[in-house]
Structure 1
Amino acid sequence: MKKQVELIIYGAEIICASCVNLPSSKDTFEWLEAAISRKYPNQPVTMRLIDIYNPPEEESVKRFAEKVIEEDMFYPVVTLEGKIVGEGNPRLKTIYAELEKYGYLPVNEGL
């Protein structure tokens, strides 16, 4: 692993109106956390769940949370190192491919 990355899930308690049959932001966060830790054991990823309606004061995070609301993005919106890698119903394959660009190695490729 070259660099520990930060994965941020932007969402809300209320499910996105266009995402009614999809998991909540919290459920998506927990699902991603479990999937990533299984696929990349002993390769930590910093993960944060941000409430878009009550973001922390951290300026970049607050700005992006506002953008999710203003642009009516489907949430949860998943970013990896600031790049959007999923929206509404994120795909593991896409997130895994991005992690591997940072040097993360899947468990089946011999750590």
Structure 2
Amino acid sequence: MEKKVEITIYGTEQLCPSCVNLPSSKETYEWLEAAISRKYPNQPFTISYVDIQSPPDDEKKKAFAERVIEEDMFYPVVLLEDKIVGEGNPKLKTIYLEMEKYGYTAVHE
């Protein structure tokens, strides 16, 4: 593994108007954390959730949260090392492919 990647999920408790019947942003965050941990055990990564309605003081995260709102992105928006890898209904396969570019190795059961 080349480096410990940072995954950031941007969303809000309110469902995206175009995302009816999909899990909430927070549920997606929890699901992704569990799925990635199972796929890449003992391979550290950082995952965090940012509420776009009340982002943290981190300027970079605050700026992206504003971008999500201004550009009417479908949330949750999933960033992996500052690259958008999912929007609205993120796909595990896309996220896994991006992680493997950083040297993560899948454990097959």
For the aligned pair, the TM-score class normalised by the smaller chain equals over 0.9
Could you list the per-position Cα deviations for residues 48-72 of structure 1 after superposition, in whole angstroms to 9, with x for gaps in the alignment?
0000010001111000000000000
Looking at structure 1, the residues matched to 17 and 57 of structure 2 have their Cα atoms a distance apart, in angstroms, of 26
The reply on whether 1:92 has 2:92 as its aligned counterpart is: yes
Which residue in 2 is equivalent to 1:80? 80
Distance 1:35 1:44 in 2: 13
Give the alignment's Cα RMSD to 1 decimal.
1.0
- Higher fraction of helix: 1
Structure 1 unaligned regions, length at least 5: none
The Cα shift of 1:20 comes to: 1.1
Alpha-carbon distance in 2 for matches of 1:6, 1:38:
17
Unaligned runs of at least 5 residues, structure 2: none
- Misfit runs of 4+, over 2 Å: none
- How many residues are paired up? 109
Q: Counterparts of 1:92-111 in structure 2 under 5 Å?
A: 92-108=92-108
**Any residues of structure 2 matched to 1:24-103 within 5 Å, and which?**
24-103=24-103
Q: Deviation string for 1:33-86 (max 9, x for gaps)? A: 010000000001100000001000111100000000000000000000000000
Overall identity of the aligned pairs, in %: 72
Q: State the shift of 1:108 in Å.
A: 2.2
Q: For 2:4, what is the secondary structure of its paired residue?
A: coil
1:23 Cα deviation (Å)? 0.4
1:94 deviates by 0.2
For normalisation by structure 1, the TM-score amounts to 0.96
- Partners of 1:108 and 1:13 lie apart in 2 by 34
Task: State the secondary structure of the residue aligned to 1:53.
Answer: coil
